Structure 1
Amino acid sequence: MARQTRRSVLAALGSGLFLTAGCGAFGRERVDVLVAGSLQKAASETLQTRTDVELAVEARGSVGAARLVADGKRDPAIVALADPTLFDRVMDTAWYAVVASNEMVLAYNPQTDGGTSVAAAEPWYDPLQSDDVSLGRTDPALDPLGYRTLFVLALAADYYDEPGLSDAVLASDQTYPETQLLAQFETGAVDAAFVYRSMAIERDYPFREFPPEIHLGDPAHTAQYRETSYELPNGTTIGASPIEYGAVRRDEQEATRTAFEAVLSGDWLAPHGFTVREEYPRVVGDVPSTVTR
């Protein structure tokens, strides 16, 4: 499996797979981009400023997005997901690029009584076991944020020696679409939510941090993370691992190549609280021959 340097990946990208770019406003080329919900703001705002190509951004939970593409219900030129595993397990792509990392946190609403109790609690999970605190999370069947929430709770149960933690915290009425989860703070519908650090930072919500053994953002704890997993509705098992975001280009049009170079640069992600490591972009799989090796 080939691994390219950051400079070589950005310098050239080989032929992709399927779609053609369209025509946008004022004669500019338009590229359809399907992204994870947690990438919506970064893609719609900052990424657009990094390229002259017009981006038509659609955001969905990554599992649902990957399924739409795999089932032929969406045909975007570029796909960016919150878990590169989905490129292999759901979309069955030949290759993809890893572009960023993140970590899990517990955001809270400082204007509610429940949120205030989450802010002050030691340990952080105590208020979440009470009916007095409303918790928000996403559906693990639809997006990685949902199953990573389950991973955090499973890891926390071991870390704090609280074997019944997940059952005590989770309830069936807590799930919201990823693109709407933090908006629930605005209405007071939830006091706290399991989210990515980037989601809390770009919306300026306070949050509780987890130890690196739990937050899924530290590669040094990869072996520990892998002790837990989740089975998607299609029977695919997703193992816990350090959080990474991946992207793939699906056509060889010039506009798409230009837009994808901006995706690979990573500088559109750092301002939104994502971690862009020196090793990114890391290209994985059957990399197109025109990429410098």
Structure 2
Amino acid sequence: MKGSPMLGRCCILIALLILIALLIAYKGIPSPAPESSRRIKIFLAGSLQIPLEEITGLYRKIKNLDFQMEASGSVEAIKKVTELGKYADLILVADYNLIPKLMMNQTEWYVAFATDRLVIVYTESSKYASEVNGTNWHQILMREGVKVGISDPNRDPCGYRSIISLLLASNGSLASELLRGTNMRVRGMEAWIPDPVQGSEKIVIRPKSVELLALLESGALDYAFEYESVAIQHNLSYLKLPEEIDLGNPELKDLYSTAKVHLSSGVVIEGDVIAYGLTIPKVARNEGEALEFTKFLLTEGLKIFEKLGQRAIRPPLAYGEVPEELRGIVREVGG
């Protein structure tokens, strides 16, 4: 009995499809990249979110990558990896010193790439906004009914830097007066921060500095300690502090170091020049792509930081066992 012509054609078609599949496998035609290889997961300080959004947007025009960014206070960003067991391909913090202090076993290198300075931000509706200036700001902050915001020193570098600035302002006496009623303790040029930290009628505390902005704009706050870059990025009025207390002048590093803040974790923060830092932790799942993006960030990306108020360090300063891919664009300065 003769077979059906239709059945014969189906058999031939199936055989051809099998042959094509075998040829594809033999030739090693690449399959689509796995999802994880097209994603870079970044934990970052809240004060870096706006420039990072612009930098990643530019990078997407070069390479089709998905960026998953989680903004928080810098200490929390690091603890997500060191204590919560989460992974990140890149970590960017507002204090480069936190990386060797808190990530000793989680990374072998880090880079300082930009600087900033502390300022006091306010709005037209802030109490005594028409009076405040570089001479009387501390008196204005102490007036009855004036509310002042700082971020949580245990979670955000802007918070402990705000305390350091107050300690430097008058050998500790301004910090003692302004923080009265909170559960923070001041003695001389040092301050101790419990956890949880509690504010007062005058002092309002939030986990990260950018969270204070909504309170400021709503009138719930009159003044807040912020980075100059944050004030620029959000078009806020701000008061420049004397360079002796704004933590922005590298030549005054020794002066800044006379103030110390003891965090609840036992870590002691010594006053230093503000500098942002980054690293790729050992738990990174996409180290290769993270390194390529880091090269872009430390070259083309520096222009974005400068435009948005963070002063680039050129060349960026690298510490530890710096990856070969970065050695041509950084200056290695120590372990």
TM-score, normalising length: structure 1: 0.83
Closer, same or farther: CA 212–114 of 1 in aligned 2, 3 Å: same
Q: Does 1:109 align with 2:123?
A: yes
Q: Give the whole-Å Cα distance in 2 for the aligned partners of 1:72 and 1:287.
A: 26
Q: Does 1:284 align with 2:319?
A: yes
Please report how far the alpha carbon of residue 282 of structure 1 lies from its aligned counterpart in structure 2 after TM superposition: 1.1
| Counterpart for residue 85 of structure 2 | 73
Please report how far the alpha carbon of residue 61 of structure 1 lies from its aligned counterpart in structure 2 after TM superposition: 0.4
| Counterpart for residue 249 of structure 2 | 218
Closer, same or farther: CA 71–50 of 1 in aligned 2, 3 Å: same
Structure 2 residue matching 1:131: 3-state secondary structure: coil
The answer to whether the 8 Å contact 1:38/1:199 transfers is: yes
CA RMSD of aligned residues (A): 2.2
The answer to whether the 8 Å contact 2:134/2:242 transfers is: no
Q: Does 1:95 align with 2:109?
A: yes
Amino acid at match of 1:221: L
Q: Give the whole-Å Cα distance in 2 for the aligned partners of 1:103 and 1:22.
A: 42
| Counterpart for residue 166 of structure 1 | 175
| Counterpart for residue 257 of structure 1 | 291
| Counterpart for residue 273 of structure 2 | 242
Q: What is the correspondence of 1:1-293 to structure 2 with a 5 Å cutoff?
A: 23=35, 29-51=38-60, 52=63, 53-92=65-104, 93-117=107-131, 119-120=132-133, 122-158=135-171, 163-170=172-179, 171=182, 172-173=199-200, 174-178=204-208, 179-250=210-281, 251=284, 253-265=287-299, 266-279=302-315, 281-289=316-324, 291-292=326-327
Q: Give the whole-Å Cα distance in 2 for the aligned partners of 1:45 and 1:87.
A: 24
Deviation string, structure 1 residues 61-104 (Cα, Å, up to 9, x no partner): 01111112111432110000011111111122321011100000
Structure 1 range deviating more: 217-226 or 227-236:
227-236
Structure 1 residue matching 2:276: 3-state secondary structure: strand
The answer to whether the 8 Å contact 2:126/2:223 transfers is: no
The answer to whether the 8 Å contact 2:112/2:276 transfers is: yes
Q: Give the whole-Å Cα distance in 2 for the aligned partners of 1:221 and 1:257.
A: 33
Deviation string, structure 1 residues 91-148 (Cα, Å, up to 9, x no partner): 223210111000000111112334444x357321111112221111101111110000
Amino acid at match of 2:152: D
Amino acid at match of 1:287: V
| Counterpart for residue 17 of structure 1 | none
Structure 1 residue matching 2:298: 3-state secondary structure: helix
Please report how far the alpha carbon of residue 224 of structure 1 lies from its aligned counterpart in structure 2 after TM superposition: 0.4
Structure 2 stretches lacking a partner, 5+ long: 1-32, 183-198, 329-335
Amino acid at match of 2:288: E
The answer to whether the 8 Å contact 1:50/1:268 transfers is: no
The answer to whether the 8 Å contact 2:151/2:207 transfers is: yes
TM-score, normalising length: structure 2: 0.73
Structure 2 residue matching 1:256: 3-state secondary structure: helix
**Higher normalized contact order (CA 8 Å, seq sep 6+, divided by chain length):** 1
Please report how far the alpha carbon of residue 288 of structure 1 lies from its aligned counterpart in structure 2 after TM superposition: 3.0
Amino acid at match of 1:168: E
Deviation string, structure 1 residues 218-246 (Cα, Å, up to 9, x no partner): 00001100101112222111111100000
Closer, same or farther: CA 255–121 of 1 in aligned 2, 3 Å: closer
The answer to whether the 8 Å contact 2:133/2:239 transfers is: no
Closer, same or farther: CA 102–47 of 1 in aligned 2, 3 Å: farther
Amino acid at match of 1:270: E
The answer to whether the 8 Å contact 1:22/1:30 transfers is: no
Closer, same or farther: CA 197–90 of 1 in aligned 2, 3 Å: same
The answer to whether the 8 Å contact 2:291/2:325 transfers is: no
Closer, same or farther: CA 287–207 of 1 in aligned 2, 3 Å: same
Structure 1 residue matching 2:206: 3-state secondary structure: coil
The answer to whether the 8 Å contact 1:225/1:241 transfers is: yes
Q: Name which one, 1 or 2, has greater alpha-carbon Rg.
A: 2
Q: Give the whole-Å Cα distance in 1 for the aligned partners of 2:133 and 2:242.
A: 17
